[in-house]
Amino acid sequence: MPNQDTPTPSTTSEPVSAGRTALIWMGRLVVAVAGLAAAGVVSVLMAVGIALAVAYPNLPDVTGLADYRPKLPLRVLTAEGQLIGEFGEERRNLLTINEIPEVMKNAVLAIEDARFFEHSGVDYRGMIRAALANLRQAKSQGASTITMQVARNVYLSAEKSYTRKIYEVLLTFKLEHMLTKEQILEIYMNQIFLGQRAYGFSSAAQIYFGKALKDVTVAEAAMLAGLPQAPSAYNPIRNPRRARARQLHIIDRMVENGFITAEQAEEAKSEELKLRPVGSATQVHAEFVAEMVRQSIVSQYGEEAYTRGLVVTTSLKQAEQLAAYRAVRQGVLDYERRQIYRGPELFIDLPSDKAALDEAVDDALTERPDNDDLLSAVVLEAGPKRVVAVRQDGEPFEITGEGLKPVQSGLSDKAGPNIKIRPGAVIRVVQTNNKAWRITQLPDVESAFVAMDPRTGKVIALVGGFDFQKSKFNHVTQAWRQPGSSFKPFIYSAALEKGLTPMTVVNDAPLFYSADATGGKPWEPKNYDGQFEGPMSVRRALAKSKNMVSIRVLQLVGTQSAQQWVGRFGFDIDKHPPYLTMALGAGSVTPMQMAVGYGVFANGGYRVSPTLITRVADHKGKVIYEAPEPTLTESQRAIEPRNAFIMNSLLQEITRTGTAARAQATLKRTDVFGKTGTTNDSVDAWFVGYQPTLVAAAWVGYDTPRNLGSRETGGGLSLPIWISFMSQALKDVPVASYAPPPGVINVGGEWYFEEFGPGNGVHGLGLQDPWPGAAPVAIDPTVSQPAPTPIPPVEDRRGILDLFRN
């Protein structure tokens, strides 16, 4: 029997030995892996160290950021400092950190980098938080600090790679070492892209809200602070819902970080934001002026004009410019209402699905954007008495009654397919003062208006056309048009030097020049109304714009002499051939030239060149150029003061009893002077006039010259534009008068040159010529009659010059 003390083999010894072996191997494996990991970490650290050692010397020099100079646009201002134009790839208005309001800084810090003033450039706590959030969500969450964004935006590309990230971190440390936190934040607030070509929050505040950054509210600051992450996605104009959601989130973050109270947050969330419409680049409609300045500055400074932050102040006055803009638009639209309806601008298919319909409407109206108060809309229903249309807001509205009168031809059953207003038609509508809608159309006709101070030449208002976006052609300076009867005062001015007086009697009798006299076809000029009134005074003849009288006056002067005389007023004499047709305004002028010319009468005889740019400064306010204050000198003398004085008397008569009598009657002031002008077949319509402190020219016509309408005249088209402007511009200006200068006398209530008083000047012109229905006129044999001036050869004349009107 075996001894009980003798050990017996255990049945579990083999498994125990195997487990220990496994544990040993596992431990060795762990040690090996740990060793490899450590070696890997060391290798990575060595690699990173080598990479850093290699990369750091290649980092860009950031010392220049201490004197931060980004690309700053060319900015154009009114005399009061109101922005009217901005040119450059980047719209930016540089502000110092002290000029940026706390509410804007707090909104940005709340959403972009709440611990900005605590970390050293890289927020490790934020990186861990973002990493954990990314594990929980499919959508990644960024962890870039403001310093890292500055490093990336200023020096690096948007490429996503480890190499770029390494450079970004290194640059971040370098920036934090070289600059203060305030400097870094200032750069960020001025540099970041915020959509709509806006760089920096100051520019964004102007573009999105039309206000200075210092005036933004908590709600507006929160909306702007949401833009850096994705300017397109959170654009409040194009994506209002997404922008609103992000704004609310930022307001909550501002509360969490103690920047605002809960009460302030609730107030901000309930605030209704007033966004600036898309395309409203300026509050003052002076696009033509801004373009004139741009061309001038670029010619002086080259391409760097767009990047060095030049600020150009003009002589333009904000209120007067707005008055001119509104006057031109109103005048053109009043004319347009008298024209035949040309039909809708576009036709689209209307899907039955609501979402598809909204998209189709949105696309169509994007293609045909609003033109200020001329709004685009899509027709949903159309009938002779009722039209239903919709705009991009999706709310249908009705047009009935008076609102359909301008387009009755387009609602008729007989209307052609391109004229018919039907569902899917893209039309133009305006809202009247009583909130009713009216259908209209974009005008084809053009207009121009310019006003300047005749004493200084400073341009205070300029509208180069109806719509700058439609046509950038500046009709004030670039359109060479025939002035018609508005040119007559310059001929009469020349005649005063030849002995003509306001009481000289001139025969308004027919004139006829045979083919032998002209060297070609016969020429028989006419008066506007086709009537001849016989002998009348120069004063009455000019007031009634009698063509036959003007021709006889030019014969007295002589065409060669008259050509040289008009050059005194700033006209190109080459564009005014020395023919009798000059008396009827057959040459070519620009509206700016006409304003300068009439300014000579207004200021007592001085020709003053127009000026627009008064100052140029850099972005820090250092003045680079400043125009000297203009003064009138004898070197600018064009005509004698007495000539200007008597012409003022004659031009005043026109606004009192003549073709422009509406001027004094409407403005209820006597110190307005001017002359209407309408060319043959109503191709060009003018009124040019002045008050002693302000001269202005208004013109209406088609770019491709054609008839404006048989009843359209300068008095009916351009004079109302001039009156509308002057009613605003002269509102607080006292009534002025001209003091008689030396060399004139008053006899019987009429003014004369001293040497050409009654009995000494030209007594009469053409009095021997018969006029229809008149008895024979006795001729004073002691008064010589001037010989006729030759008529231009037929090859030098144009048929359209034969008939000119008032």
**How many CA atoms are closer than 13 Å to the CA of 315, on its beta-carbon side?**
22
Task: Name the phi and psi angles at 753, rounded to 5.
Answer: -65, 145
Residues 222 and 201: their CA atoms lie apart, in Å, by 11
Q: Which of 485, 493, 718, 724 is catalytic?
A: 485
**What is residue 448's DSSP assignment?**
E
Helix axes 218-225, 262-270, angle to 10 degrees: 80
CB 592 within 8 A of CB 474: no
Residues 431 and 256: their CA atoms lie apart, in Å, by 46
- Radius of gyration for the chain, computed over Cα atoms and rounded to the nearest angstrom: 39
Nearest-5° Cα angle at 348, 347 to 353: 155
Helix axes 488-496, 641-657, angle to 10 degrees: 140
- Whether 112 is catalytic is yes
Tokens standing for residue 751: 């003014």
What's the Cα-to-Cα distance from 253 to each of 106, 112, 148, 265, 529, rounded to whole Å? 10, 10, 21, 10, 77
Q: Which of 86, 90, 112, 653 is catalytic?
A: 112
* Burial classification of residue 354, based on how many CB atoms lie within 10 Å of its CB (0-12 exposed, 13-18 middle, 19 or more buried): exposed
Residues 115 and 117: their CA atoms lie apart, in Å, by 6
Q: Which residues contact 575 (CB under 8 A, 6 or more apart)?
A: 480, 587, 588, 589
Residues 297 and 301: their CA atoms lie apart, in Å, by 6
- Sign (positive or negative) of CA dihedral 206, 209, 211, 213: negative
Residues 447 and 461: their CA atoms lie apart, in Å, by 14
Helix axes 591-602, 641-657, angle to 10 degrees: 110
- Provide, for the chain, the percentages of residues in helix, strand and coil under a 3-state DSSP scheme, each rounded to the nearest 5: 45, 15, 40
- Locus of tokens 């646009």: 73
- Whether 485 is catalytic is yes
Active-site amino acid positions: 112, 485
